[in-house]
């Protein structure tokens, strides 16, 4: 799993002001409309300093959310087998992250999403702009269906995290990853490539 270690430049108070401004901007305006310039303005610093401290807008967003992973580093693994293997690869990747030490931070993110409106908005932006959009654009789906397919995938993965790691309902809580890949992989795959209105 990828963990953002490395140097953390700058004054801690300034860093925190930037992160607070970033959380507000991303939650209120969404990932696309929030700009580094306006975030810097709110925090009372120069935009160059935001880039210097946090890097790209993606990286600032991940830092503001306390995300333990960078989806851009992981998605290529899920996408490597093309559309027909996406279901199985995605679920295996998801379990790999959540079963690792990064899973603890994942639980914290879910808690935050459920306990506050801002947390929910940041989670929405994270799922839609940083994960789904980037995954789906590589899968060459019908643009009219892609958003529904993406949110269906999110529903199965979010629920798996809830039931396996938070509610800890057995046997899903302690099932080996391969059991879950075999059971849920086909669900994700149908959400990507299958009919969405079977029997209708």
At its nearest, how many Å lie between a copy of itself and the CB of residue 194? Answer: 8
Contact 161, 98 (CB under 8 A): yes
Mapped onto helix, strand or coil, the DSSP state of residue 5 is: coil
Q: Which is nearer to a copy of itself, 80 or 114 (by Cβ)? A: 114
CA 193/CA 168 separation, integer angstroms:
30
Name 161's Cβ contacts closer than 8 Å, sequence gap at least 6.
98, 106, 107, 110
Q: Which is nearer to a copy of itself, 51 or 133 (by Cβ)? A: 133
Q: Which is nearer to a copy of itself, 76 or 81 (by Cβ)? A: 81
At its nearest, how many Å lie between a copy of itself and the CB of residue 20? Answer: 22
At its nearest, how many Å lie between a copy of itself and the CB of residue 36? Answer: 25
Contact 3, 10 (CB under 8 A): no
Q: Which is nearer to a copy of itself, 62 or 128 (by Cβ)? A: 128
Where do the DSSP E strands lie in 48-191? none
At its nearest, how many Å lie between a copy of itself and the CB of residue 200? Answer: 5
Binding residues vs a copy of itself (CB under 8 A): 110-111, 113-115, 120, 123-124, 127-128, 147-148, 151-152, 154-164, 166-173, 175, 179, 182-187, 190-191, 196-200
Contact 31, 122 (CB under 8 A): no
């Amino acid at each position: 799993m990828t963990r953002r270690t490395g140097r953390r430049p700058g004054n801690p108070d300034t860093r925190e002001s930037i992160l607070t401004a970033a959380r507000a901007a991303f939650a209120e305006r969404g990932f696309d409309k929030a700009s580094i310039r306006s975030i810097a303005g709110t925090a009372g610093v120069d935009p160059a300093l935001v880039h210097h401290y946090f890097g790209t807008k993606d990286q600032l967003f991940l830092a503001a959310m306390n995300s333990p992973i960078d989806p851009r580093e992981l998605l290529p693994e899920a996408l490597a087998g093309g559309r027909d293997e996406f279901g199985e690869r995605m679920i295996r990747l998801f379990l790999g992250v959540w079963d690792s030490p990064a899973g603890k931070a994942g639980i914290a993110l879910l808690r935050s999403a459920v306990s506050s409106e801002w947390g929910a908005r940041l989670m929405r932006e994270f799922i839609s702009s940083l994960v789904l959009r980037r995954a789906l654009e590589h899968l060459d789906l019908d643009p009219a269906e892609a958003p529904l397919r993406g949110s269906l995938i999110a529903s199965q993965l979010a629920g798996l995290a809830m039931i396996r790691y938070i509610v800890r309902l057995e046997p899903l809580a302690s099932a080996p990853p391969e059991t879950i890949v075999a059971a849920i992989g086909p669900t994700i795959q149908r959400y990507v490539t299958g009919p969405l209105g079977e029997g209708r």
